[in-house]
Structure 1
Amino acid sequence: MPSTSMNVAVHGTVVQGPDGPFLVLSERLDGHDTFLKGSLETGGERIFVRILTLDDVTVLRPAEHPAVPAVGTEWDGTLHLPHGLRPRTVPPDLEQAAAKEGRALEALDEAELRYVLTYLSESTTTAIRQARVEAIVSALPAITERPQ
């Protein structure tokens, strides 16, 4: 996946979170990876943020607080998203399980692979991860031998 950057015009409000200020976007950020790091340019400042997209709201959690506007302040800015910088490597447990079952991981396109890797990374226990690996592998097509 090539390394590119995307810039999105955003608007929002500063609210107080449990560990400091959050920047809540006025519109949900759709079609982008969640839990990414990025940066927000607003008011002549660049603020490094973690992007959290929930069911109906996108929240930016600043990595540093000094440059963040005061709680209750509305702001406009540009969110810089570093697409393609996250690794998209298949973990060994998934690769081994697919090979053992004769399944083709190569059949996954970029979006499907991204979904699979996110699904696996959100496993909270070893048992859940193993069950998810099994579910993914069972959905992959069988490797077919090519005629020589």
Structure 2
Amino acid sequence: MPATAGSVAVAGSVSHAEGTSQFVLAERLSGHDTFLTGVLQLGDRRIAVRIITLDDVTVLRPVAPGTFTDLKATWAGLLHLPHGVRRRAIPADLTAAAHRHQRVLDHLDDAELRYALTFLEEATTNDIRQVRIAAIVAALPPVAERAARRAGGTARPRNERPDGC
């Protein structure tokens, strides 16, 4: 097993499809990189798995295909992660741009923040990073809109266009 940066207690169910088994977590795994590998420990058994997290579900697919018919329908174990916890801090340049344009970053929910930070982190040059920062900031609600919502005002919902379309 590769060096372990962290371990997470997990539980879920076994699903069989296309001649192989996969492990569906009961709760979505948050804060960890996906499409990487880890090791699922079920008692004394260790299974190398690829971690796939989508919007609302995490699936662990064994690296070596096979079926695990000897496992119960539900299981609990440890997921050993060589890559640890994903950084989710909002970078200073994004915070500064939001402040400069009077936009609110803390309005993003967990999924939106995750997508925005991944989009930003994947920039390959500073020019691309600056354009991506501008795109993220432009999509944020203005400070005044947030204040109106908190005060029970009539600011329009974030996804409603002013022209009614």
Structure 1 position 6 matched with structure 2 position 10? yes
Structure 2 gaps of 5+ residues are 1-7, 72-76, 149-165
Residues paired across the two proteins, number: 121
What displacement does 1:10 show? 4.6
- Which has the larger displacement, 92-101 or 28-37? 28-37
Q: 1:113 to 1:60 in 2, by over 3 A?
A: farther
* Amino acid across the alignment from 2:112: E
Write out the 4+ residue segments of structure 1 that deviate beyond 4 Å after TM superposition: 25-33, 47-50, 57-61
SS in 2 for 1:87: coil
* Distance (whole Å) between structure 2 residues aligned to residue 86 and residue 5 of structure 1: 17
Give the superposition deviation at 1:59: 5.6
**2: CA distance, partners of 1:79 / 1:10:** 15
Distance 1:126 1:28 in 2: 40
Question: What TM-score do you get using the length of structure 2 for normalisation?
Answer: 0.50
Aligned partner (choices 63, 68, 74) of residue 66 of structure 2: 74
Contact preservation (8 Å) 2:39, 2:47: yes
Percentage of matched positions with identical amino acids = 42
Unaligned runs of 5+ in 1: 13-24, 62-70
How far apart are the structure 2 equivalents of 1:120 and 1:146? Answer: 27
**Could you say what the CA RMSD is over the residues aligned between the two structures, in angstroms?**
4.3
Aligned 8 A contact 1:51 1:60 in 2: no
